Amino acid sequence: MEYSNTLTKFGAAPADAEIRAILADVQARLRTNGNEEVYRRCFRSIDLTSLGATDSHEHIERFVAKAVRFPGHYPDIENVASVCVYPVFVETAGLVIADSGMTITSVAGGFPSSQTYLEVKMLETAMAVENGADEIDVVISLGEMLSGEYDLMGNEIETLRNEVGDDVVLKVILESGVLARPELIHRAAVIAMEADFVKTSTGKAAVSATPEAAVVMCLAIREFAERTGRRVGFKAAGGISTPQDAVLYYTIVERILGPQWLTPALFRIGASSLAGNLLNAIVGREENYF
C-alpha cells in the first residue's frame, strides 16, 4: 500500500493550542474520575507486564500464577486483561494461564528497537502466535518513520498483520517519546491503523507515554473511525505506575473517544507496579499482592 497517499486523506496533526485545550478539559474532569469505579475499570484494562532482562521461565510461572490466582483472593474485582511477556515465555505463560480468562500478550518483531531483519520479525511473530499468544505488540521501524520512509514502515506493519492473522490482536507501538513532535506521532498513528491498537511506548526509551502524545493518538483514532467505521484501540504504556496516572489516560480516552472505548477491547494500559497500586486504591488499604 502507498501510505504516503493515505496520509493526504487525513487531516493535519492537532496544533499545540488544541492539545493544551483538551488537556485543560481533561484536568477539570480528573477529580470526578478519581473514584473506585474508574480504578476498577482501569485495573481490568491492564496488560500486566514482565519484560525484564533477568526474566526466566521460573519467574514467569510465578508471575502468571499470581495473576491467575487473583480472582480467588478478590472475587469482587474484575481481573487484569492480559499478561505481557517476551516471546520465549509465551508457552510457559500458556501452561499456567489455562482457562483463567486472561489473554497472553507477547512482544515481538525485534522488540524494543525493531532493528532486525524483516524475516526475523516475521518468524518471531509467527512463533509467538504458534506457541499460544493471543495478542502481539510490535514496534514501528523508527528509523524509517523519522526518515520519511512511510511506505516501508507501513508495509512492514502490513506484513506483520498477515503473520498475526485475523484471530490475534495486533498492537503497534509508536515510541511516541522518540517521535516527540505531534505531526510525526499523528502520521505514525494513521499509518499504524492497520493494527487493532496503537500503543504509546515500549517503556524502554528515555521518554515514555505522555498525555500530549495520547491526545494526538486518540484524535487520529477518532478521525480514522469517522472515516472508515472501524474502531482501533488505544494502549498507554511506559511510566504509568499510580492510580492518578491511570485515571489521566482513562480520562483522555473518555474525553476524545467516548465511553464506548473504555473497555478492555479498546483500551489498555501496559504496566507492572500499577496493578498493585490500583488494587490498594480500590480496597482502601495496603495489600502488597502484586
For residue 199 the three cell numbers come to 500503543
The residue with cell 498493585 is 276
The C-alpha atoms of residue 109 and residue 123 are separated, in whole angstroms, by 8
CA distances from 13 to 155, 184, 242, 261, 267 (A): 22, 8, 29, 21, 22
Q: Write the single-letter amino acid at 76.
A: D
Nearest to 237 by CA among 288, 290, 176, 185: 176
The C-alpha atoms of residue 146 and residue 144 are separated, in whole angstroms, by 6
By CB neighbour count within 10 A (0-12 exposed, 13-18 middle, 19+ buried), where does 229 fall?
exposed
- Residue among 121, 171, 196, 199 flagged as catalytic: 199
| Known active-site residue 204 | no
The C-alpha atoms of residue 267 and residue 250 are separated, in whole angstroms, by 8
DSSP reduced 3-state for 253: helix
CB 221 within 8 A of CB 191: no
CB 107 within 8 A of CB 135: no
Residues forming beta bridges with residue 46, ordered by sequence position: 269
Q: Write the single-letter amino acid at 7.
A: L
| Known active-site residue 9 | no
DSSP reduced 3-state for 49: strand
- Kindly give the interhelix angle for 243-257 and 273-283, rounded to the nearest 10 degrees: 90
- Residue among 137, 171, 196, 245 flagged as catalytic: 137
The residue with cell 498525555 is 211
Annotated catalytic residues are 137, 199, 235
